[in-house]
Structure 1
Amino acid sequence: MTLAALDITFDPSDRAEPWRFAPVAGPDPARCVIGRTPEEAERLLPRVFNLCGGAHGAAAAAALGRDAGPDAVAARLAVARQERIRDHALAVLHDWPTLFGLEPDRAALGRIGGGAADRRALAQHLASGDPDLAAASAADLDAWIDEGASPAARVLARLRQAAEPLIGRAELPSPTRTDFAAALHDGAPPMPRETTILDGWREAPLVAALLAREGASLVTRFVARLLDLLAGLIDAPDPAPVPAASPGLGRAWAARGLLAHQARVENGVVTAYHVLSPSAWNLAPGGLLTRVLTALPIGPNTPMLARIAIASVNPCVPVRLRVETPEGALHA
């Protein structure tokens, strides 16, 4: 099944099963390259999967055997990273403030398209100083949030007020190469795994300290995404190296996690092609989003916490949340 959307219903009156998940199936876009040459497929796939087209392009090139040397690989990965920066910036400067009732920082968002100086200035604006937050301690982060001198700090302050560390905490192992191969073969993950931008930041001092203190909390997940944005803005080394390609299999980091492409080429044409998005893992039955939502306390604030939880997972397909009330269903 190709996941096109996920419908979630929260019914607080149902004490046995307050959360219901209904995956929505859609057509498989990857089938459009069957019968085409690898060159045609490489050009077409980033347009078909245009949400994270750069990352899909990098994974497709590797899967199709189209890597034309280290310079070409580096260029593709640079495009994918710029895409991550734009996605993160939109979240940090617009979507997250809106979620927490703050004003979006549209002026700062406009700097994304500028040169290196503009981007470094944006990083300093987001960090209210040194953009190397990854080297900070958990206590440093707490003080930075309390100071509230940057838009990102103010968002995290609202998040801390809304959700204690244990609320919505859930964690699964990252998929291995064997897991990817099995999922691509079967068309669905064989077991619960997660792949999010947090994976690449686990060794950073700040994230390691947060994981030790409060686990994979909502705050930890938001912080990892902020760090990925800051690192991209100042052109710091990418903390998450792309796994090595193998014949017919290519992977690349997107803003939402690690995606994979698998290709079979026979007699110069593509005869089979499969794509596995991060949401195939994170939104799977019993997967990360299910576990995060079912870890939320049931009460008046649950719908708001659910929206925060969904933002922390950052799905790549629409997730529609419906809340059942005595007056009828509301879309949250």
Structure 2
Amino acid sequence: MSDPGGSLDIQLTPSSGGLLCTIASTRPVAAASAFAGRTPEETTARLPLLFSICARAQAGACAAAFEQASGVLPSLLIRGRREAAIAVETIREHLWRVLLDWPPILNEPPCRDDMAAVLALSNRILARLDPAGDLFSVGAGAAAGQAPGLDVLLGDLTDLLTRRIFGIAPEHWLNLIGDPSGFERWCRKTETVAARLLRSLLESGEASLGQTPITALPRLSDEDLIARMSAPDWAEFVARPTWQGQPRETSPFTRVHPLPLIEVYGAGLLVRLAAQLTEVATGLRLLSRGSAGSAATQATLGSANGIGLGRVFAARGMLAHLVRIEDGRVRDYRILAPTEWNFHPRGVVARALESLPPGPEDQVRRQAELLITAIDPCVAFKLTC
């Protein structure tokens, strides 16, 4: 049975000039057209059934698009609660990689018990943030104030991250990002799976693998993005997006961009993995301070002209939903996801893989899988070397 979310087929072929990478995608990038003819309420109810990965980020972009199209600006309390839920989801998505995908790279079993604890805690936190399950409904107005018991749950999450991920308080770990020598000491002396994987890259000389000339997606105006997603070739754009004729990257690395570490280790594998850890610690900080997601979503009061754009910074990058409403029903619905930017056939993943040095097939495969995991597709992939 085929995966309803699609998949990526990544092939590396040796050539006289080095590796050549081809990326083919079966992702259903036009699946949101199924919402045509639906009401906003029907669409928001069906969206989680169609897009289960990063479901709250998808719901946040959906609600924001409909609200902008209708000239509705949700309250600060609603926006803050939505952003907190997306922050929890982002932490969970990154920890899924750290606890389940990183250990096998070290020839160790996945940390399933730890991930089960993360899932249980995140579900309880999300239930406190959205007790009625209507937080992402269009024009939501029920959520208000501090969620009861949230501080205790966030304390439990902090303790878990301290013991199983960072080995030190997450807030203390964030200070190391600006101190390359302190960061390296942490890698070499800490025994969590995260530290040991980064240490293995330092010891193997693989820390700088995968540097590319692909630049970050710039901050785009609503007008520019709406125009591009509404153009006659919109289907090609959302399948293989470029900006000003060039593939771009949108990822934890482009959001965090830890310059001190880049200056020492280069913009490669080690810094990309560290960026995922940084987002975990930063998300926890924002949740604990009650300011989660202050930069996660872009809420704009629409003109009520029936056109709305919702943007959310999801775990893997910028997610954009564009909706056009006529007579209270969806005429067009389009989604631009971060995976299409990062796994563009000539994008950051392809260029990073082509930069790998020649070597035995098992070495190339291992390094390629590391890079793909670091940039992180939201779907399954098949790698052929």
Question: Could you tell me the TM-score, scaled by structure 2's length?
Answer: 0.76
Q: Is the 8 A contact 1:42 1:64 kept in 2?
A: no
Matched, 1:135 2:175: yes
1:1-332 to structure 2, matched below 5 A, reads 4-12=6-14, 14-16=15-17, 18-27=19-28, 28-65=30-67, 68-112=74-118, 113-114=120-121, 115-125=153-163, 126-132=165-171, 133-136=173-176, 137-170=179-212, 171-178=214-221, 180-181=225-226, 183-185=228-230, 186-187=234-235, 188=237, 189-190=241-242, 191-202=246-257, 207-234=258-285, 235-236=287-288, 237-238=291-292, 241-246=295-300, 247=302, 248-300=308-360, 301-323=363-385
Structure 1 pair 107–5 and aligned structure 2 pair: CA distance change class (3 A): closer
Worse-matched range after superposition: 178-187 or 26-35: 178-187
How many angstroms does 1:244 deviate by? 2.5
- Other structure's SS at 1:193 match: coil
Distance of 2:79 and 2:51 partners within structure 1:
19
Q: What is the alpha-carbon distance in structure 2 between the residues aligned to residue 208 and residue 151 of structure 1?
A: 24
Query: What is the DSSP-based 3-state SS (H/G/I as helix, E as strand, rest coil) of the residue aligned with 2:346?
Result: coil
Which range is displaced more, 162-171 or 207-216? Answer: 162-171
Answer with 123-132 or 101-110: which moved more: 101-110
Q: 1:239: how far off?
A: 7.2
Q: In structure 2, how many angstroms separate the alpha carbons of the residues matched to 1:141 and 1:26?
A: 38
Q: Deviation of residue 257 (structure 1)? A: 1.0
Q: CA deviation at 1:320?
A: 1.2
CA displacement at 1:163 relative to structure 2: 4.8
Measure how far apart 1:292 and its partner are.
0.9
Q: Distance in 2 between matches of 1:198 and 1:94?
A: 20
Structure 2: distance between partners of 1:62 and 1:20: 37
Question: Alignment partner of 1:82: what SS?
Answer: helix
User: CA shift at 1:127, angstroms?
Assistant: 1.5
- 2: CA distance between counterparts of 1:194 and 1:163? 25
Is the deviation greater in 137-146 or in 109-118? 109-118
Residue aligned with 2:313, SS = strand
Is residue 7–residue 380 contact of structure 2 (8 Å, CA) maintained in 1?
yes
Q: Which runs of 5+ in 2 are unaligned?
A: 122-152, 303-307
Larger RCO (alpha carbons 8 Å, 6+ apart): 2
- Superposition RMSD on alpha carbons, in Å? 2.3
Whole-Å separation in 1 of the counterparts to 2:156 and 2:92: 14
* Aligned partner of residue 170 in structure 2, secondary structure: coil
Asked if the contact 2:65–2:321 (Cα under 8 Å) also holds between the matched residues in 1, the reply is yes
TM-score of the two chains, using structure 1 as the length reference: 0.87
**In structure 1, distance between residues paired with 2:116 and 2:379:** 25
Query: Share of identical aligned residues, percent?
Result: 31
User: Unmatched 5+ residue regions in structure 1?
Assistant: 324-332
Q: Is the 8 A contact 2:211 2:267 kept in 1?
A: yes
Q: Which moved more, 1:254-263 or 1:171-180?
A: 171-180
Contact 1:251 1:258 in 2 (8 A): yes
Gap change, CA 1:153 and 1:106, over 3 Å in 2: same
> Cα–Cα, structure 1 residues 58 and 116, in superposed 2: closer, same or farther, change >3 Å?
same
Q: Which runs of 4+ in 1 moved over 6 A?
A: none
